Structure 1
Amino acid sequence: MALETTLILFKPDAVSKGLVGTVLNRFEKEGFKIRGMKMLYLSDELLADHYSHIADKPFFPSVRDFMQESPVVALALEGEDVIARVRDLLGPTDSKAAAAGTIRGDFGDKEGDAKMRNVCHASDGVEAAAAEIKRFFKEGEVF
């Protein structure tokens, strides 16, 4: 097992539904440690960088609009194999396909865009986590 740090973004649906504390509690019950946490509005530039792999797609404006509906909460979370374990806790990206007991299965959108309104973004690998943490946290904000 490897000690890792991952980035979690509590998306606007999690913030507006008051789910940040509930979901954070699930992460802490798994033994993960908070290394950094802050609330912020996402600029067009930050979103274009974070979603550079889809920024040229016709659906990107709807992603940008959703991610700017409210502030998000960025979380740097540390633990043994935290990247894979968090993704297991979240369940599949599509909340409609997520099993009960997973975060997305319990709290994700089942009616609308279940792939976008799915409570949290989580890094998908060690390199992505390092880049994403650097993107959302300044020097000295991760402890």
Structure 2
Amino acid sequence: MQKTFVIFKPDCMAQRHVGQVLARFEAAGFDVVGCKLARLTPELLREHYAHVADKPFYPEIEAFMSQRPVIMMALQGEDIVAKVRDLLGPTDSRKAAKGTIRGDFGTDMMTNVVHASDSVENARAELARFFRPEEIFAL
């Protein structure tokens, strides 16, 4: 069984889509094995977005992601990294098909409802960044 990391982003929280999005993950057969609510700090965001932290648009990402608390989850399931990404649709919500999470609830590249790990390696790194080992449970 694979695990992946997701963040219910500030737009998801503000528009009260958490329940609908979580229901889609559960309907796909995924299990929640870790969950917490937190406000992301500038330091944690800089680490998480290190691959773009030197770009001119990074301050906008940091401001958006820190504007309100977010829900972070560890999900478990067969081939979950790829399957979650398929459920979400493309990163740019404007290009996401209706029926995908981003196609139904997102609006653009940043306000796209959920962050999800894009590889098994990144899932491991992101889970370790946002959760202590004892906060992720085995089923």
TM (norm. structure 1) is: 0.95
Task: Determine whether 1:48 maps to 2:46.
Answer: yes
Q: Deviations over 1:65-86 (max 9, x none)?
A: 0001111110100000000000
Task: Determine whether 1:57 maps to 2:70.
Answer: no
Task: Determine whether 1:39 maps to 2:33.
Answer: no
TM-aligned CA deviation for residue 139 of structure 1: 2.5
Match of 2:117 in 1: 123
Q: Deviations over 1:81-100 (max 9, x none)?
A: 00000000000000000000
Task: Determine whether 1:10 maps to 2:4.
Answer: no
Question: 1:17-96 counterparts in 2 under 5 A?
Answer: 17-96=15-94
Q: Deviations over 1:89-123 (max 9, x none)?
A: 000000000000000000001xxxx1100000000
Letter in 2 for 1:15: M
- Runs of 4+ in structure 1 off by over 3 angstroms are none
Between the aligned partners of 1:65 and 1:32, the Cα distance in structure 2 is: 31
Secondary structure of 1:83 counterpart: helix
Between the aligned partners of 1:135 and 1:19, the Cα distance in structure 2 is: 25
TM-aligned CA deviation for residue 46 of structure 1: 0.2
Letter in 1 for 2:9: K
- Residue ranges of structure 2 left out of the alignment (5+ in a row): none
Paired residues in the alignment total 137
TM (norm. structure 2) is: 0.97
Between the aligned partners of 2:76 and 2:92, the Cα distance in structure 1 is: 25
Secondary structure of 1:99 counterpart: coil
Secondary structure of 2:52 counterpart: coil
Match of 1:133 in 2: 127
Q: CA RMSD in A?
A: 0.5
Between the aligned partners of 1:31 and 1:100, the Cα distance in structure 2 is: 21
* Identity rate, percent: 55
Secondary structure of 2:135 counterpart: coil
